């Protein structure tokens, strides 16, 4: 990789101003996704760096915020993500449903489920007294329920909740509805799993049963999966209808499970722009965060199968030294080498994680440069990151990793407010503001 001079200079960021929108919901909140793109920011970036009819690539599409905003603003979009839950969410959120038919299908399933919900008195009783393990086994045999092989499942869910979720899932799977309608219902089902579980729904850094949740259970917490599901479906139908009314029907949208470090083979042609929010450096553990959804949706059948996907996630806090990005790749840029050495003096494990992150992002930047048309923009929204009280210069790091293939043209920031971004911060890391780095691919040289 060709790199810039050793002392990379990045201009001081300016404050980014963007307009809020009354129709920001659309399908953005069908699934509670941590550290998601802020829709008004995405809308501003689309307006600023693309034009109607363009195709935008988001190699870290997450829950599809960029795809949704592109669709309602007359741009086609391609979204890639390594996380199967993210890709599923993106695909459902951007589907062009026939809303009347979808509502009819949803109402049919909700009506069928009414006969399986427990009484209010029983749910009240279940605040403090769960059913026996033998009762779960009998219900599974009698009703032929499918229960995922989540390790230590009764740590994550009350036993009666496992049965209720199995019943809801069985009806969704058996419903005589189009597959796209079934996927909408499955997304609504996935959206309630965290709230129906014993895990704390707030932290985004992973999956844990916190002391806060234990106190709530001691005081009595009612968990009614049928009620949660119905509310999710009814909210979702309204959001789908709002999205349907806004989308531009001339655009094309695609979401796929793709490793961003190797995405070149999945692109059929050059794109007009890249707008993306890369994974944070050691902050949000999407692999752990989506464990329950991956099992219940059937994206993984065993812990071993799930672990096979782990090495492809970027931004993890623990990476084995055997990973090729750590064991084989060299730190080719001066700034990266300096920070890696600085971190390694304190924590070799964190240094390995940092190395994995920057090597991966260097490969992604190279893939992005290849994917862009000449003179096209690549826009990155990155979070503040720090190590032992020292701020990591993410802007300078990205500039250096981009080498000569992309040129930084703008640097801005905006405050993060009212976002689903509460988590235990590693080494003082804070996501109270985000930075916008705008790169441009140089024009083709004349022969």
Is residue 26 a part of any domain in this protein?
yes
Task: Print the domain residue range for 239.
Answer: 99-243
The answer to whether residues 98 and 181 touch, using CB atoms and an 8 Å cutoff, is no
Measured from the Cβ of residue 417, the count of other Cβ atoms closer than 10 Å reads 9
Q: Are residue 265 and residue 388 in the same domain, yes or no?
A: yes
CA distance 360 to 382: 15
User: Given this model, what pLDDT does residue 119 score?
Assistant: 95
CATH number at residue 433: 3.40.50.150
Q: Are residue 259 and residue 363 in the same domain, yes or no?
A: yes
Model pTM?
A: 0.92
Is residue 6 a part of any domain in this protein?
no
The answer to whether residues 226 and 117 touch, using CB atoms and an 8 Å cutoff, is yes
Q: Are residue 88 and residue 113 in the same domain, yes or no?
A: no
Is residue 133 a part of any domain in this protein?
yes
Q: Are residue 142 and residue 209 in the same domain, yes or no?
A: yes
The answer to whether residues 375 and 369 touch, using CB atoms and an 8 Å cutoff, is no
The answer to whether residues 431 and 283 touch, using CB atoms and an 8 Å cutoff, is yes
Is residue 9 a part of any domain in this protein?
no
Q: Are residue 166 and residue 53 in the same domain, yes or no?
A: no
Q: Are residue 227 and residue 257 in the same domain, yes or no?
A: no
User: Given this model, what pLDDT does residue 357 score?
Assistant: 94
pLDDT along the chain (447 residues), means of 10: 52 83 82 87 96 98 97 97 97 97 97 94 95 97 97 96 98 97 98 95 77 91 97 98 95 97 94 95 81 96 92 92 92 87 94 94 96 97 83 89 93 73 41 86 80
DSSP, collapsed to helix, strand or coil, labels residue 96 as: coil
Is residue 5 a part of any domain in this protein?
no
Is residue 287 a part of any domain in this protein?
yes
Q: Are residue 348 and residue 392 in the same domain, yes or no?
A: yes
Spatial neighbors of 25 by CB under 8 A, at least 6 apart, are: 239, 242
User: Given this model, what pLDDT does residue 8 score?
Assistant: 61
Measured from the Cβ of residue 357, the count of other Cβ atoms closer than 10 Å reads 24
User: Given this model, what pLDDT does residue 24 score?
Assistant: 65
Last residue of a domain, one of 209, 243, 277: 243
Q: Of 370, 373, 145, 148, which Cα lies nearest the Cα of 271?
A: 373
The answer to whether residues 86 and 44 touch, using CB atoms and an 8 Å cutoff, is no
Q: Kindly state the tokens that stand for 14.
A: 């300016």
Is residue 169 a part of any domain in this protein?
yes
């Amino acid at each position: 990789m060709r790199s810039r001079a050793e002392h990379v200079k990045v201009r001081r960021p300016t404050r980014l101003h963007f307009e809020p929108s009354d129709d920001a919901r659309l399908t953005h909140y069908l699934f509670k996704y941590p550290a998601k793109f802020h829709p008004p920011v995405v809308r501003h970036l689309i307006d600023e760096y693309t034009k109607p009819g363009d195709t935008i690539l988001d190699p870290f599409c997450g829950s599809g915020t960029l795809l949704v905003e592109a669709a309602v603003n007359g741009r086609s979009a391609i979204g890639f993500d390594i996380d199967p839950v993210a890709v599923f969410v993106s695909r459902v959120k951007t589907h062009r449903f026939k809303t009347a038919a979808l509502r009819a299908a949803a109402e049919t399933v909700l009506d069928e489920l009414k006969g399986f919900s427990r009484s209010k008195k029983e749910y009240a009783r279940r605040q403090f007294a769960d059913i026996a393990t033998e009762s779960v086994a009998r219900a599974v045999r009698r009703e032929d329920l499918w229960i995922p092989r989540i390790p230590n499942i009764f740590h994550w869910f009350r036993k009666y909740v496992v049965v209720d979720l199995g019943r809801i899932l069985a009806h969704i799977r058996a419903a005589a509805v189009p597959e796209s309608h079934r996927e909408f219902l499955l997304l609504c089902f996935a959206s309630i799993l965290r709230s129906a579980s014993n895990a704390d729904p707030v932290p985004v850094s992973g999956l844990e049963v916190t002391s806060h949740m234990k106190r709530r259970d001691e005081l009595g917490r009612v968990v009614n999966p049928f009620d949660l599901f119905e509310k999710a479906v009814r909210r979702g139908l309204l959001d789908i209808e709002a999205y349907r009314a806004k989308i531009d029907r001339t655009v094309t949208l695609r979401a796929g499970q793709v490793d961003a470090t190797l995405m070149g083979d999945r692109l059929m042609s050059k794109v007009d722009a890249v707008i993306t929010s890369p994974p944070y450096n050691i902050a949000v553990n999407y692999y752990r965060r989506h464990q329950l959804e991956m099992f219940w949706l059937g994206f993984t059948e065993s812990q071993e199968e799930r672990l096979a996907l782990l090495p492809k996630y970027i931004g993890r806090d623990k990476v084995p030294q055997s990973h090729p990005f750590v064991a084989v790749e060299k730190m080719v840029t001066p700034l990266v080498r300096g920070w890696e050495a600085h971190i390694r003096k304190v924590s070799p494990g964190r240094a390995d994680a940092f190395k994995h992150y920057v090597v991966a992002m260097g490969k992604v930047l190279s893939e992005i440069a290849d994917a862009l048309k000449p003179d096209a923009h690549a826009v990155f929204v990155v979070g503040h990151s720090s190590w032992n009280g020292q701020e990591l210069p993410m802007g300078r790091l990205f500039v250096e990793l981009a080498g000569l293939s992309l040129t930084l043209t703008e640097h801005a920031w905006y405050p993060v407010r009212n976002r689903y971004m509460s988590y235990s911060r590693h080494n003082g890391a804070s996501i109270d503001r985000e930075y916008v780095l705008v790169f441009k691919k140089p024009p083709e040289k004349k022969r």
